[in-house]
Structure 1
Amino acid sequence: MTLALALSCLAIVAVSLLGGLLPLITTLTHTRLQLYLSFAAGTMLGAAFFHMMPEAVALGSAGTLRWAAAGLTALFLLERFFSFHQHEAPNPAEPHDHGHDHGHHHQANRGRVESPTLNWAAAAIGLAVHSLIGGVALASAVVADFETKSTFGAASWGVLLATIVHKPADALTVISLMLRARTTPAKAHLVNFGFSLMIPIGVALFLIGVLLLDAPRSGIVTASALAFSAGTFLCIALSDLLPELHFHSHDRTKLSVAFLLGLGLMFLSSFGESEHTHSPIDHEDHGHVLPADDH
């Protein structure tokens, strides 16, 4: 399990660093970015619905899904106060005209440009906390798989893939905002490197917490953390999809196909999940301990 998590963290750090290079090696237009984000949002929704929530119920109970609401609310409030989840093409090469009046959005953007240092700093803080939660999501999925199947299962692959797909967008946000603030590229990439380490740190913090608990309690915590993480995935996906929902009538087919491809990928990968008829942890609401498999 530890080796699987270490390799997963290395892959995530690598794609995060690659995402930070995108403003320097390619021209990412608004439409291209929205196509990518639509696909990434599809994978995150799929990971939450087809992998994380079922695994949380399998390891815990149906009531465990209450933590998904807590996760969505927590990330919503984090975004509201830090406004970190803003994805925009760093060097727009095409007009960004949706054919509607949303001048308040552009006015808000102009306000942010006037104080760019605060903008990237606030975004970096918000994304760092968000990435720590992402580390908890990955670790809880892997621990849950090893608890129920003793292997790096479909839930682990689903969370890992969704994280890898979406992580470059977060790195792109950090780099783009810092470059707009006229920060040197070297400093921007140094900050991005520190940001890329947040998921491994989140993984380590979760594992330390689980090791400090006794076995039954650690199972409950893992199930709750997985459900909480599913809620954060839902919030991230919806924040990418909903703001642009009515503003791309000319691209609606392409964006819909990209979204469905991401969602379909997660759906297909969920067929690797085995059905769990019993939960391996002590359910407090049942008032008894389930018998072990070998009894």
Structure 2
Amino acid sequence: MTLALALSCLAIVVVSLLGGLLPLIATLTHTRLQLYLSFAAGTMLGAAFFHMMPEAVALGSAGTLRWAAAGLTALFLLERFFSFHQHEAPDATDSCGHPHDHEPGRDSNHGRFESPTLNWAAAVIGLAVHSLIGGVALASAVVADFETKGAFGAASWGVLLATIVHKPADALTVISLMLRARTTPAMAHLVNFGFSLMIPIGVALFLIGVLLLDAPRSGIVTASALAFSAGTFLCIALSDLLPELHFHSHDRTKLSVAFLLGLGLMFLSSFGESEHAHSANDHDTHDHAIQAEGS
């Protein structure tokens, strides 16, 4: 389990650093960025519904899903006060090279009304906390899989893939805001490197917390943390990414297809997961029954 988490964290750090380099190695048109964000929305929504929430119920109970509401509310309030999500290409043009269109009176930040320049430090703090929660999401999914199936299962893959898809966008936000604030590129990439470590730190903090608890309580904490994390994934998809499908009058079909592809990928990867978990639970119940009869 430790090796699986270490490799997952390494992959996330790499894609986060690459996300910060995107403006230098690729042409980020508005349409390309929106297609990517729509696909990311589908993966995060699918990871929450098809992987994280079912796994949380399997490890805990139906009541565990109350933590999903807590996670959604917590991240909503975090975004509300830090306003850290800002995804826009440096050269915001559509696929034909024309400036993208928004509704009158709205800016490029998902249709929100234009506000003063976002303070990059506040954005980095908000994204850092958001990434720590992402680390908890990854660790709780992996721990839950190993507790119920003894392996890196579909829930772990779902959370890892959704995180890898979304992480470059957050790194791009950090770099873009710092460069707009006239920060040197070297400083911007240094801050992005520190930001990329937030997921591993979140993983480590969760594992330390689980190790400090006894076995029965650790299972409850893992299930609750996974449900809480599912709520944060839902919040990101619903309040930050999916509005891309509504506040842009162009490329509606392309954006919708990208979203459905991400959602479909998560759905297909969940096939056989519930049956596997059910069989494992039945096996555990059968073992406990045999032990009770033997005593």
TM-score by length of 2: 0.90
Whether 1:90 and 2:90 are equivalent positions in the alignment is yes
Q: Per the alignment, do residues 24 and 223 of structure 1 end up closer, same or farther by CA in structure 2, a change over 3 Å counting?
A: same
In 1, Cα distance between equivalents of 2:26 and 2:266: 28
In 1, Cα distance between equivalents of 2:106 and 2:278: 53
Q: In the comparison of the two structures, how many residue pairs are matched?
A: 281
In 1, Cα distance between equivalents of 2:242 and 2:3: 37
2:206 partner SS = helix
Letter in 1 for 2:3: L
Letter in 2 for 1:195: F
Deviation digits for residues 72-107 of structure 1, max 9, x if unmatched?
A: 000000000000011111232441213x32347789
2:250 partner SS = helix
Unaligned runs of 5+ in 2: none
- Residues 43 and 265, structure 1, Cα contact 8 Å, conserved in 2: yes
Q: Per the alignment, do residues 15 and 152 of structure 1 end up closer, same or farther by CA in structure 2, a change over 3 Å counting?
A: same
Q: Could you tell me how far 1:277 is from its partner in structure 2?
A: 3.8
Flag as ranges the 4+ runs of structure 1 deviating above 6 A: 104-107
Q: Per the alignment, do residues 147 and 67 of structure 1 end up closer, same or farther by CA in structure 2, a change over 3 Å counting?
A: same
In 1, Cα distance between equivalents of 2:270 and 2:49: 10
Deviation digits for residues 200-226 of structure 1, max 9, x if unmatched?
A: 000000000000000000000000000
Q: Could you tell me how far 1:247 is from its partner in structure 2?
A: 2.7
Whether 1:111 and 2:107 are equivalent positions in the alignment is no
- Residues 59 and 144, structure 1, Cα contact 8 Å, conserved in 2: yes
Whether 1:292 and 2:267 are equivalent positions in the alignment is no
- Residues 69 and 231, structure 1, Cα contact 8 Å, conserved in 2: yes
Deviation digits for residues 35-64 of structure 1, max 9, x if unmatched?
A: 100000100000000000000000000000
- Residues 37 and 240, structure 1, Cα contact 8 Å, conserved in 2: no
Letter in 1 for 2:187: K
2:187 partner SS = helix
Partner of 2:185: 185
Kindly report the root-mean-square deviation, in angstroms, between the aligned alpha carbons of the 2 structures.
2.1
Partner of 1:101: 104
- Residues 38 and 240, structure 1, Cα contact 8 Å, conserved in 2: no
Q: Could you tell me how far 1:110 is from its partner in structure 2?
A: 5.6
Question: Percent of counterpart pairs with the same letter?
Answer: 87
Unaligned runs of 5+ in 1: 281-288
Partner of 1:237: 237
